[in-house]
């Protein structure tokens, strides 16, 4: 088998270059020159663009590149609606199929093509839309046909959805036709994918969580259908492989013990147990200590009151980065973080119940912090936190909690700016404060760097 010129990207170890192979291609007699020979020369041209500058200034480089371009224009066939399928089916090497369409654009043969050419082309079992997405002129000519093709072949819809569900992996030179990239078309395409015979659960999840922006505006009803389909498929997978999941699941146990002095963590195989000191809590029911337990006993926050329930890259394995369905719209909840969250939730449930047995409601402890401790300790007047009554249902407590959280953030932000609280202003201001814009009493206390290096 011949060792053909192959170019993936400038830093790809799979690239294959051979000057002798290029010289051989440049000297093939005209009658023996094949379509794949032309496409291989174009592959060599793409490769040579990334050569080092010291090579680009040599006569060998300049002469070779000039000859390649001359032969491309001389031997590449004239493409039209009638012959496009015949020529495309001659291309055996997958890497060169994209070159075929790039040369059609380069020679401006797209001016001879219509939607009929696309209809012929999709008859080929070798065709994929990834070969044409970087060809803007062809995409615009075939836009209507591409939309119809996607509705009938729903497996290609996720490829186009990547533009919105995971923009980082949508190639910079790809483009979508306006017949596809508009709100009405996306609604139809997404609906078709959801109702298709075998939708992928990862893409269903992406549809549910991707926010509406740009032309990708999916109705709540359609997202709800995606969620239902996702739940149905997931349930089926768990049902089919129930024994396998049972073998690999982790068991957690958290409880307060009279025999424990502080805290003991025990891990055996897949069993994780945490024993907490009941004596310590019961003998130290003053509110400051009960709040400090969140730091020192439970580890819910660190010594600077920063939450431990955050997603850290250090907690994520390389395999998770590869196999988890994470996009820029995802909260990257690694297995490590999920384990911490389970433990913290169990600790909080046990703590809440133990305090309740001793006549203390955790809501009152939180209320004491904002309504009494802050004014007395820091001389800040006016801070308010409305404590729900003991008869309030769990659902109502959750609703009130979110409302009070917004209020606390607003109060703190105003105090950080004005060094005082003006409740008439707070009642007038109805716009919620964006967390990333909340001011601090300590300038430059926390700095977070984005991928682009900007400070958040």
Q: How many CA atoms lie within 13 A of 87 on its CB side?
A: 25
- Residue 448 is predicted with a pLDDT of 53
Question: Among candidates 170, 235, 153, 164, which has minimal Cα distance to 206?
Answer: 164
Q: What is the pLDDT of residues 388-399, one digit of tens each?
A: 998 999 899 888
- Residue 455 is predicted with a pLDDT of 42
CA distance 128 to 125: 8
CB 144, CB 119: distance < 8 Å: no
- Residue 205 is predicted with a pLDDT of 93
Q: What is the pLDDT of residues 140-158, one digit of tens each?
A: 999 999 999 999 999 999 9
Per-residue burial over 236-270, b = 16 or more CB atoms within 10 Å of its CB, e = otherwise: eeeeeeeeeeeeeeeeeebebeeebeeeeeeeeee
Question: Among candidates 226, 214, 228, 229, which has minimal Cα distance to 189?
Answer: 226
Length of the chain: 456
Per DSSP, the three-state class of 402 is helix
Q: Residue ranges of the domains in the chain?
A: 250-360
CB 15, CB 6: distance < 8 Å: yes
For residue 104, what are the β-bridge partners? Answer: none
Radius of gyration over every alpha carbon of the chain, rounded to an integer in angstroms? 32
Angle between helices 201-209 and 183-194 (to 10 degrees): 140
CA distance 313 to 310: 10
Q: What is the pTM of this model?
A: 0.74
CA distance 362 to 341: 19
Q: What are the strands, taking DSSP E only, across 204-359?
A: 251-257, 263-268, 271-277
Residue segments in the chain with a per-residue pLDDT below the cut of 50: 1, 453-456
Element (H, E) at 288: helix 287-296
CA distance 104 to 38: 12
CA distance 141 to 144: 8
Per DSSP, the three-state class of 301 is strand
- Residue 97 is predicted with a pLDDT of 97
- Residue 319 is predicted with a pLDDT of 79
User: Which residue is it, tokens 């000519």?
Assistant: 141
Cβ neighbors of 284 (< 8 A, separation 6 or more) are: 290
- Residue 353 is predicted with a pLDDT of 95
Structure tokens of 41? Answer: 């020369």
- At residue 276, what are phi and psi to the nearest 5 degrees? -115, 155
């Amino acid at each position: 088998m011949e060792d053909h010129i192959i170019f993936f990207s400038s830093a790809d170890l799979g690239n294959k270059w051979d000057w002798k192979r290029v010289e051989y291609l440049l000297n093939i007699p005209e009658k023996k020159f094949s379509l794949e020979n032309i496409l291989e020369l174009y592959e060599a041209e793409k490769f040579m663009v990334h050569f080092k500058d010291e090579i680009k200034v040599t006569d060998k480089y300049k002469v070779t590149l000039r000859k390649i371009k001359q032969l491309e224009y001389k031997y590449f066939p004239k493409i039209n609606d009638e012959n496009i399928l015949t020529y495309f089916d001659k291309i055996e090497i997958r890497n060169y199929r994209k070159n075929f369409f790039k040369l059609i654009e380069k020679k401006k043969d797209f001016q001879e093509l219509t939607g009929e050419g696309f209809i012929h082309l999709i008859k080929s079992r070798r065709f994929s839309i990834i070969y044409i997405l970087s060809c803007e002129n062809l995409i615009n000519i075939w836009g209507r046909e591409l939309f119809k093709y996607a509705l009938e072949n729903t497996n290609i819809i996720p490829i186009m959805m990547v533009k919105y569900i995971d923009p980082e992996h949508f190639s910079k030179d790809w483009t979508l036709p306006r017949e596809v990239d508009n709100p009405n078309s996306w609604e139809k395409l997404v609906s078709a994918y959801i109702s298709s015979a075998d939708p992928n659960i990862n893409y269903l999840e992406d549809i549910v969580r991707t926010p509406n922006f740009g032309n990708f505006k999916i109705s709540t009803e359609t997202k709800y259908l995606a969620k239902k389909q996702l739940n149905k498929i997931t349930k089926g997978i768990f049902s089919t492989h129930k024994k396998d999941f049972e073998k690999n699941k982790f068991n957690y146990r958290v409880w307060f013990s009279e025999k424990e002095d502080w805290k003991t963590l025990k891990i055996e195989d897949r069993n994780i147990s945490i024993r907490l000191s009941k004596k310590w809590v019961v003998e130290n029911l003053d509110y400051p200590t009960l709040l400090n337990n969140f730091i020192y006993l439970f580890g819910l926050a660190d010594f600077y009151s920063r939450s431990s329930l955050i997603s850290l890259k250090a907690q994520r394995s390389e395999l998770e980065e590869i196999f988890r369905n994470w996009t820029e719209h995802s909260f990257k909840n690694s297995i490590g973080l999920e384990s911490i969250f389970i433990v913290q939730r169990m600790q909080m449930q046990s703590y809440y119940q133990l305090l309740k047995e001793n006549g203390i409601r955790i809501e009152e402890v939180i209320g004491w912090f904002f309504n009494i401790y802050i004014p007395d300790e820091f001389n800040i007047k006016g801070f308010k936190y409305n404590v729900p009554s003991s008869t309030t249902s769990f659902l109502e407590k959750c609703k009130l909690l979110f409302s009070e959280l917004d209020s606390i953030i607003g109060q703190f932000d105003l105090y950080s700016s004005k060094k005082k609280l003006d409740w008439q202003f707070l009642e007038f201001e109805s716009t919620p404060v964006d967390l990333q814009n909340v001011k601090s009493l300590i300038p430059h206390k926390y700095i977070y760097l984005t991928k682009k290096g900007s400070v958040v």
